[in-house]
Amino acid sequence: MVKLRLKRCGRKQRAVYRIVAIDVRARREGRDLQKVGFYDPINNQTHLNVPTILYFLEQGAQPTGTVYDISKKAGVFAELQPLRKEIEKNNWKGRIQRNEPTNS
């Protein structure tokens, strides 16, 4: 399972974080799959690669609480809603077509 979580960087007393897609079994500073953003809590700066975050969320990645809050402030989930509605609409049509009885 993949999670979107913070990876600590920087020096002592001056932490900055990378937002990464990483396997759940990996340690905090372990090898990440891909860097998807940056967060500096001291200067309150964030930089997110929104298309990459949306890709991982569509594939089933789970964000941690902090990453969820950061993404929500940036409006990432507002962009995810139209995509989910489109997917649900297509799946619903597929279910109707499969469940129709055949006339024989």
Identify the pLDDT of residue 88: 60
Calculate the CA 102 to chain-centre distance. 41
The CATH fold assigned to 2-98 is S16 Ribosomal Protein; Chain: A; (3.30.1320)
Q: pLDDT tens across 43-81, in order?
A: 999 999 999 999 998 888 899 999 999 988 988 888 777
Q: Which two tokens stand for residue 32?
A: 């990440």
Q: Which two tokens stand for residue 66?
A: 């902090």
Residue with tokens 């024989």: 104
Q: pLDDT tens across 2-52, in order?
A: 999 999 999 999 999 999 999 988 887 778 899 999 999 999 999 999 999
- Torsion-angle region of 44 (φ positive above 0: left; ψ -120 to 50: alpha; else: beta): left
Burial zone of 63 (CB within 10 Å; 0-12 exposed, 13-18 middle, 19+ buried):
buried
Every domain of the chain and the residues it spans:
2-98
**Which of 45, 43, 39 lies closest to 66 in space, CA to CA?**
39
